Structure 1
Amino acid sequence: MLDVLVVDDDFMVARAHERVVEQVAGYRVVGVAHTGAEALAAIAALCPRLVLLDIYLPDMTGLDVIRHARSRGNDLDFIVLSAAREAETISAALQGGIASYLLKPFKVEELLSRLTVYSERRRLLGRPGDLSQSDLDLALGTSGTLSAPPALPKGLSKETSLLVARSLSDSAPDVAASECAEALGLSRVVARKYLEHFVLTGQATVTLRYGQTGRPQRRYASRPI
């Protein structure tokens, strides 16, 4: 299990983030903090693997929390969830080694995709042996053998697109939307949106598999680049 600490000065927002984390398999919330001091105390006492961190806190900034935690040698990662969009703030957060930065307000699906990508990254980097280029692309959040175009249609995120693309590339010879959804912890409808987008952009092909009853099943396969 990946232990998560939620840090936000707004009690309702913190609870909302907590509920999102509870939806993702493999995660559990071990604590909630509403100030920087509470966050640092919780980090020391609970040793979370991941902190969902706001930048605007009443006693210090989220950047201060990151700096203090790093200086104390805490082994953890941060995903920043904040309305702070100043270039210098985001740059400082990136220099602090954050795993991701998500601007408020955001949709639940966007946070879910960040958490899914993070857990996949942990899985890849924690396994023995060498990594392939596609593994590195996913771990670093860059495009792999089946890449999403820079501008995705509204409602589709780059992070989830990369995960679906990876699942599609790894599936042999093809995959159904339901199978892709189950592997990634997505709904079938969401997985199908991404797969159909890949077909539309020429990154994947689709064939129909007819069974004895019901509608034919749409099977997707990656198209070599």
Structure 2
Amino acid sequence: MIKVLIVDDDFMVAKVHAGFIQRTPGFAVVGVAHTGGQALVETERLQPDLVLLDIHLPDINGLELMHQLRDVAPDLDVLVISAAREVETVRKALRGGIVHYLIKPFSQTDLHERLEHYLSAYQGLDASKVEAEQSDVNRVFGLSVSERTLPKGCSVETLELVESALKTAPGDLSAAELAEQLGTSRVSARRYLEYLHDEGALEVRLKYGVGRPERRYVLKGR
């Protein structure tokens, strides 16, 4: 369960945000603060995983407060929720290492999407393994399949078919088997498989027989 502290000077807005978060599986509101001073005390006391932080607070700028909060909770993540739209403010927030910047007003769906991304990407990276694969890093930074730099001659549409075939396969697949299933050449099928292997999404198993061992591919974790 992700422990969340809400920091907002508006009592009603903080209450609304708390309601949004409580309706998102995997998250629990552990506290609310309306000033920077309160936020510092509550962060040290509660040690939340994530703070929803407003920029405009009565006693301190939220970006200055962010560094103080991390002094008492070094592993703290920060999601800025603010009406502040100045480009320089957004830049400073990004340099400060926030997980997202959500401009008020926003809908429950907007916040839900950010929380879901945080849960799957940031928390998943922490718990998954000792070393990160490129696919793990892509997920943290929100890089979708359509934004990847694919090998020359490859398409997003075919890559999605390859990934679907791997997901539905009862076991590992060779390039020849995948090529027959998709109606492509073996060279093309291997190009996609090797790309996914380089991304860290696949494991390679060698099948020994006569001649060179056959490379067989399977999704990690299967």
**Interval of TM-score (by shorter of Structure 1 and Structure 2):** 0.5 to 0.7
> Could you tell me how far 1:68 is from its partner in structure 2?
1.1
The AA in structure 1 aligned to 2:112 is L
Q: Secondary structure at the match of 2:91?
A: helix
Give the corresponding residue for 1:43.
43
CA positional deviation for 1:132: 3.6
Say if 2:173 is the partner of 1:172: no
Deviations 1:192-223 (A, max 9, x none): xxxxxxxxxxxxxxxxxxxxxxxxxxxxxxxx
- Report SS of the residue matched to 2:167: coil
- Residue 137 of structure 1: how far off its partner (Å): 1.1
Does residue 14 of the first structure (1) align with residue 14 of the second (2)? yes
The equivalences for 1:63-102 within 5 A come to 63-72=63-72, 74-102=74-102
Can you give the 5+ residue segments of structure 1 that lack an aligned partner in the other structure?
A: 149-165, 175-225
Partner of 1:135: 136
* Amino acid of the structure 1 residue aligned with 2:135: S
Structure 2 residue matching 1:75: 3-state secondary structure: coil
What displacement does 1:19 show?
0.6
Between the aligned partners of 2:12 and 2:72, the Cα distance in structure 1 is 30
User: Alignment length, in residue pairs?
Assistant: 155
Q: Does 1:104 align with 2:99?
A: no
Q: Counterpart of 1:4 in 2: which secondary structure? A: strand
Unaligned runs of 5+ in 2: 149-159, 170-222
User: CA RMSD, aligned part only?
Assistant: 2.4
User: Aligned-pair distance for 1:10?
Assistant: 0.7
Q: How far did residue 79 of structure 1 move? A: 0.2
Q: Distance in 2 between matches of 1:147 and 1:22?
A: 32
Report deviation, 1:129: 4.8
**Given that residues 5 and 32 in structure 1 are in contact (C-alpha distance below 8 angstroms), is that contact kept between their aligned partners in structure 2?**
yes
Cα-to-partner distance string for 1:129-161 (whole Å, 9 max, x where unaligned)? 544433221112223x2459xxxxxxxxxxxxx
For the 8 Å contact 2:44–2:72, the answer to whether it is kept is no
CA distance in 2, matches of 1:67, 1:115: 22
Q: Give the structure 2 partner of residue 32 of structure 1.
A: 32
Task: Tell me: CA distance 1:146–1:173, structure 2 relative to 1, closer, same or farther (3 Å).
Answer: farther
The alpha-carbon deviation at position 23 of structure 1 amounts to 1.1
In 2, the alpha carbon distance for the partners of 1:32 and 1:138 equals 30
Amino acid at match of 2:141: L
SS at match of 1:78: strand
Residues 104-123 of structure 1 aligned to structure 2 (within 5 Å)? 104-121=104-121, 122-123=123-124
CA contact (8 A) 1:51 1:76 kept: yes
Deviation per CA, 1:95-135: give whole Å up to 9, x if none. 11111000111111010000000011111332125444332
Contact preservation (8 Å) 2:8, 2:57: yes
Distance 2:15 2:61 in 1: 20
Whether the 8 Å contact between 1:125 and 1:139 is mirrored in structure 2 is no
Letter in 2 for 1:172: K
- Higher CA-based Rg: 2
Contact conserved, 2:43 with 2:73, CA < 8 A, in 1? no
Sequence identity (%): 44
